[in-house]
Chain A
Amino acid sequence: MIAVIAEQRGGVLNRASWEPIAAAQQLAGAQDVTVVIPGADVSALAAELAAAAVREVVELDDRALAVYTPDAYLQALQRLLGELSPSLVLLPHTYQTRDFAPALAARLGRTLITDVTHIRQDGGSVVCTRPVFQGKLSADVSPVGDGPHFVSLQIGAFRADAVARGAGPAPVRRIAAGIDASKIRQQPEAPFQEARQAVDLSQAERIVSVGRGIKAQEHLALVQQLAEALGAELAASRPICDAGWLPMSRQIGSSGQTVAPKLYVAVGISGAIQHLVGMKGARTIVAINKDAEAPIFEVADYGIAGDLFEIVPALVAALKSS
């Protein structure tokens, strides 16, 4: 049986949770997948997840799971996984997974393979493909030692819309996590957004992203107009955020966010690998860049090699008249 650990914050399901469910169904077949949702009174989310064709959904419940802390998650999941004894545990490779999953696997004496883009079964084990060296290379990796092995899946590498739906809802089982709250060492405060315009780029359907080619902060208005014409969020490559022209929260790439929107328009971005790893999962990629040899064109579906200061206004005009 494959266990999938879904993720929620403030009672809202992280959409990325559907991706490991799709992967688990493809690996094991629907009847061999158990979805776990940790939280406090998250039966609504359990019901939402039960739409997937799976064996069961486990609502791992405790007041101490209302707000995420690694210590509470470790306690709860260590015990639950001992009871479920899955052969494989899949998670979305989110910031939250990065915070607790390495410790969970280590505590259980098991292997965690992170940021995986492809997974296949190989006898009793698994072979996982993951980017290494900033995406310059891919590695096929197998865990060493006994299962259950833990695998976190790169956001966007598996299609959430590929999840098989059941004829009726899957059974939901509520399990009390029985957490000793006195052992939780982290004291989290309420999450907050730094900038008023901050947005969850991973949930955006369309993104216009700007890089060094924009040359000066006052030119950002140009790409802002393109974003508005497309109904897109504005994002940037790292140098733009390091310069303070846009907030860090809008940075796409290995040290920023990983996104997989329907449409990604890269304006003046050469496509350093640190940027590509954050956006190459987008369904349709458009690149506008002066240099026709820039690596961004290797991942683009549509490319225009030319002066962005001419092309972007023309694109805004074409969108408005279409």
Chain B
Amino acid sequence: MKIAVCIKQVPTREWQPRLNEAKTWIRDSEASFELNEPDAYALEEGLRLKEKHGGEVVVCAAGPARVSAVIREALARGADRAIHVDDEALGSADGATVGEALAAALSDEHVDLILTGLQSDDQGHAQTGVVLAERLGIPHATIIMEVQVADGRLRVKRELEGGWFQWIGMPLPALLTIQSGINQLRYATLKGIMAAKKKEIRRVAPASPVQSRQRIAALYVPEKSKQTQMIDGTPSDAARELVRRLRDDARALRQ
């Protein structure tokens, strides 16, 4: 089975935001980056499916040159080769635009299955995977917690809200967006890191000039909207006072 996994490079969790002068994007050069966490689970799922069913795992990422760091990491974890849609504007473009750029890059690969994370930890549009499937004309399912492959078909467990799930069957080729926590992640071994150096990274330009579907007019730190009332005293005094305020002021207790 030929599997493509689409990954994104995003600022680290610890990164403290700094804005460019126009306050329309972050200062890329001062940020530290890592593999988008949901995409790490998608990669792991792709590697497990390959181990079970054979075939190859191709990672695909869009963005500027810095993106090669997460591509190397994915290759070190076990992906076979990579496609890098190399373009500065794709680093800050919206999810649908990235999805379309990835679709153009993958259209000649004829993969059986495409996996990606359910959303990115940077802009969080949650659109890339679904738009990619739409542009390739293949069926999709989102927020997937389990993947079964049999007789050229998929059966996947989709997470619904409120603790509900649903199994969905569909033909291959197909695209799935993967939920964090679907599996236990592996990390790159030294052997994997060495092997990655010899693996192919094919750099391609976007098929058409990148034009984002969304314009960021302003980026800012959200205002704190609340005045917090801190309640002091011994645990029992503080507890009684909290209950009083929840009952009388906030009216948040059962009547």
User: What residues of chain A have their CB less than 8 Å away from a CB belonging to chain B?
Assistant: 9, 69-71, 94-96, 98-100, 102-103, 105-107, 111-115, 127, 130-145, 185-195, 198-203, 206, 230-231, 241-242, 247-250, 254-255, 257, 262-263, 272, 283-287, 292, 297-307, 310-311, 313-315, 317-319, 322
Contact = CB atoms under 8 A, between A and B. Distances in A.
A198 B163 contact: yes
A267 B215 CA distance: 39
A318 B239 contact: yes
A105 B243 CA distance: 48
B167 A102 contact: no
Interface centre among B100, B213, B220 (most CB of A within 10 A): B213
B134 to A, nearest CB: 4
Contacts of B215: 141-144
B219 interface: yes
Contacts of A132: 122-124, 219
Interface in B99-151: 99-100, 118-119, 121-127, 130-131, 133-135, 139-143, 145
A113 B214 CA distance: 8
Top 9 A-B pairs, shortest CB-CB distance: A200-B162, A198-B163, A249-B163, A314-B239, A102-B127, A102-B130, A185-B139, A263-B252, A103-B134
Nearest to B162: A200
B126 A106 contact: no
Interface in B179-235: 179-181, 211-222, 224, 226, 228-231, 235
A186 B38 contact: no
A248 B166 CA distance: 15
Contact of B246 (A103, A187, A193, A302): A302
21 contacts: A94-B161, A98-B126, A102-B131, A103-B130, A105-B96, A106-B100, A115-B124, A133-B17, A138-B222, A140-B216, A141-B217, A145-B213, A185-B171, A188-B166, A191-B160, A192-B164, A242-B181, A300-B228, A302-B229, A318-B240, A318-B242
Given A263-B246, A297-B228, A322-B247, A187 B235 contact: no
B96 A112 contact: yes
Interface centre among B135, B160, B171, B215 (most CB of A within 10 A): B160
A299 B223 CA distance: 11
B238 A306 contact: yes
Given A142-B215, A192-B165, A194-B163, A95 B231 contact: no
B126 A102 contact: yes
Given A255-B179, A315-B242, 14 more contacts: A95-B159, A98-B130, A98-B142, A105-B96, A133-B123, A140-B219, A186-B170, A190-B166, A198-B162, A198-B163, A200-B162, A263-B246, A272-B13, A318-B239
Given A102-B131, A302-B228, A302-B246, A138 B219 contact: yes
Contact of B213 (A99, A111, A248, A286): A111
Given A106-B99, A140-B218, A249-B162, A301 B250 contact: yes
B252 to A, nearest CB: 4
B162 A201 contact: yes
B254 interface: yes
B163 A250 contact: yes
A255 B180 contact: yes
A110 B229 CA distance: 45
B2 to A, nearest CB: 19
B253 interface: yes
Given A142-B215, A242-B181, A314-B235, A95 B226 contact: no
Contacts of B143: 95, 98-99
Nearest to A264: B252
B220 A143 contact: no
Interface centre among A9, A131, A248, A307 (most CB of B within 10 A): A248
A221 B230 CA distance: 26
Contact of A304 (B142, B180, B242): B242
Interface string B60-87: 0000000000000000000000000000
A94 B7 CA distance: 23
Contacts of A319: 243, 253
Contacts of B220: 137-138, 140
Contacts of B125: 114-115
B219 A263 contact: no
B228 to A, nearest CB: 5
